[in-house]
Amino acid sequence: MADFATGSCRLAEIDFRERAFPFSFGQIPPRLLESISKVGLLQPPLLQVTAKGYRIVCGRRRLEALRRNGAADAAIKFFAAPAGNLKELFRRALWENLSQREFNLVETADIYNKALKIFSEEELRLELKPALKIPGRQRFHKRYQAIAAFAPELRELIAGGIIDSESVDIISEWNDAELKSLIGLILETGLRRNKLREVINRLDDLARRDQVSVCEPLAAAGAVVSAAEGRIDISALRRQLQIRLYPHLTAARKNFAEKLAKLSLPANIRLEAPPDFEGGEYSLSFKFSDRRQWQEACEKLNSIVPEDIDEICSRS
């Protein structure tokens, strides 16, 4: 940034709430905090003078890390961005940040929504969307519009990678009460990414099927699986939602268990049905440590009559 004039100011003079250049959101990396703590601010930020002090154009994370280290009144050197030139400064800050890291989902949403206001459709299509890796389909536009409107607590979870993009597409249709319930569930259980996406999908499917709020199936399932100390068991919650969403699967499992009980198989012989009883083949396995156990297992299997096997394999 050698083409910009330099200046100095106090950290307290910088308006951290102003986000005309929204190139940072989420937790500051520990390595950056450690670096700032040990050696200070080596690369000056790019700031712009405003009526309220100084606006951050580029270098927000470095300044946040410096402020986090208790240096609120520290004097810093900076590169001074000229007034105006919003589009060119925005473009410059974008590529400067991209040269160092990839943006999280919330940062991408904030940058995209700001770019919508200052760039033409042609510029968005040719430069901004490719830079942000945003496909042209409408659902991606809707995704980033939704993220921008979410509450700060939810945005923090998305920025931290706890809620992934596919889950964002689902919860973008949820109301404030439903989103609040989801935040509470995440904070209580520690659910994240794949398992969280599974829970969100099942809650959404149950709510749509029964034409109720997402809060209802979540409360009903949570009441069943809450542990004695009041906390929700994650595995039990996932299982309970599956039972509620697929009652026929629960019945099929019970039916298979009753058929299996008739065979009286010993503990070392295991017969398993296809996953979720959808096509596929049954699996048979047994364990042995010597010739006697091998022979006993073979004798037990040979003693099973064909009619019992037919009954096991029947889906009725």
pLDDT per residue as tens digits for the range 181-193: 999 999 988 999 9
User: Would you say the pTM of this structure is higher than 0.85?
Assistant: no
Banded pLDDT at 60 (limits 50, 70, 90)? very high
CB-based contacts of 198-207 (< 8 A; 24+ apart in sequence)? 198/238, 199/237, 199/238, 199/241, 200/167, 200/170, 200/171, 201/170, 202/238, 202/241, 202/242, 202/244, 202/245, 203/241, 204/170, 204/173, 204/174, 205/245, 206/241, 206/244, 206/245
Residue 304 located in a structural domain: yes
Strand partners, 46: 58, 79
Residue 179 located in a structural domain: no
| pLDDT, position 263 | 87
| pLDDT, position 157 | 96
Pairing state of beta strands 46-50 and 75-81? Answer: parallel
What average pLDDT does range 126-148 have in this prediction? 94
CATH number at residue 65: 3.90.1530.30
| pLDDT, position 276 | 73
Residue 135 located in a structural domain: no
* Residue ending a domain, choose from 75, 101, 127: 101
Residue 279 located in a structural domain: yes
What average pLDDT does range 112-127 have in this prediction? 95
Percent of the chain with pLDDT over 70: 96
For residue 74, pLDDT beyond 90: no
Residue 39 located in a structural domain: yes
What average pLDDT does range 14-40 have in this prediction? 89
Banded pLDDT at 227 (limits 50, 70, 90)? low
| pLDDT, position 230 | 65
Name residues whose C-beta falls within 8 Å of residue 98's C-beta, 6 or more positions apart in sequence: 131
What average pLDDT does range 35-58 have in this prediction? 88
Residue 138 located in a structural domain: no
| pLDDT, position 45 | 93
* Residue ending a domain, choose from 56, 85, 101: 101
Residue 247 located in a structural domain: no
| pLDDT, position 124 | 95
Residue 196 located in a structural domain: no
**Please, what is the average pLDDT of the chain?**
89
3-state secondary structure at position 270:
strand
* Residue ending a domain, choose from 72, 101, 130: 101
| pLDDT, position 70 | 75
- What range does the domain containing 274 cover? 264-313
Number of folded domains that form the chain:
2
